[in-house]
Amino acid sequence: MHIPNSTIFMPSIFTLRGIPGLESVQCWIGIPFFAMYLIAIIGNSLLLIIIKTEHSLHEPMYIFLGMLAVTDIALATSIVPKMLGVYWFHAPEIYIDSCLFQMCLIHTFQCTESGILLAMALDRYVAICYPLRHATIFTHQVITQIGAVVTLRAATLVAPCFILIKFRFQFYHTTVISHSYCEHMAIVKLAAEDIRINKIYGLFVAFTVAGMDLTFITLSYVQIFITVFRLPQKEARLKAFNTCTAHICVFLQLYLLSFFSFFTHRFGKKIPLPYLNLLFYLT
């Protein structure tokens, strides 16, 4: 394989460019991101405190909601501090190992979020379709095991992304990442070597997690809706729907925005890069 002379061999540092084309106003753009980060931390922390202190909320649905809150805090914390360092303190450099570690954290927490949403859907399915068996199926031990499996699945799927970059790539076209944080494809595109395996594996992980989880969530809610519509009383139907409303809203928000971001970054070549990056951060 021919490697151009202009390539960089085994760089130790990457540079996060931020939002290309909007460098002059990044200090102002950082303000709403900081506000959203604070709101996310405070809101999720309050939710965790309420769930912990209120014994009536020690049920599977709220425990899963607490897991989702922890994951949201971890995901935001793995992204926003470095992003603000780029915007406010002009500190774009990041060691390559730190960059790869951040990439692993981000994608692991994203996969974990998807798994928790699947667990919440299955919890609602059992609670509505088999209410008498719900307490015996979703015990605290089972919930803990589900949390461990979801996290282990995410870490296992994301780990090869780290290995395929760390131990395959030696030459890079550039060390400048056109984002404010380290993301899998943003790093892969810098390499001056064959990236097909990395691209294929990245798509495999995305479609395995989103495809499998989305399929089971959809099937769960199809059965839930069938069961609910068969209930004889209108009040019972409304009560059953109300127990699913919050989960449906979170589910739609996560997957619709994720798919929007995924397809616009791969097929939205006519969208100006600054606006494309802003859409990516907001999703």
Q: Give the H or E element holding residue 28.
A: helix 26-53
- Going from the C-alpha of 271 to that of each of 137, 160, 279, 283, the distances in angstroms are 48, 31, 10, 16
Instruction: Tell whether the torsion through CA atoms of 188, 265, 180 and 112 is positive or negative.
Output: negative
Report the topology of domain 12-190. Rhopdopsin 7-helix transmembrane proteins (1.20.1070)
> What mean pLDDT comes out for the span 68-89?
94
Q: How many residues does the chain have?
A: 283
**pLDDT tens per residue across span 58-74:** 999 899 999 999 999 99
Residue among 80, 96, 97 at smallest CA distance from 88: 80
Count CA within 13 A, CB hemisphere, residue 105: 18
- C-alpha distances (whole Å) from 175 to each of 115, 161, 179 are 33, 18, 12
Q: pLDDT value at position 12?
A: 93
Three-state SS at 271: coil
Residues 6+ apart with CB under 8 A from 111: 153, 154, 157, 158, 205, 209
The answer for 181, left when phi > 0, alpha when psi is -120 to 50, beta otherwise, is: beta
Q: What does the domain layout of the chain look like in residue ranges?
A: 12-190
Q: pLDDT, tens digit, for every residue of 119-150?
A: 999 998 998 889 889 999 999 999 999 999 99
Q: Which residues pair with 95 in a beta bridge?
A: 13
Residue 226 vs residue 255, higher pLDDT: 226
pLDDT of residue 277: 58
Lookup: tokens for 270: 């006519």
Q: Give me the pLDDT at residue 88, please.
A: 94
Give the per-residue pLDDT at 271.
Answer: 55
Q: What is the pLDDT of residues 15-39, one digit of tens each?
A: 998 887 777 888 998 999 999 999 9
What are the start-end ranges of the E strands in the chain?
Answer: 8-9, 13-16, 93-95, 171-172, 176-177
Q: Is 162 helix (H, G, I), strand (E, B) or coil?
A: helix
pLDDT at 269: 53
Mean pLDDT value across residues 222-245: 78
* pTM for the structure as a whole: 0.88
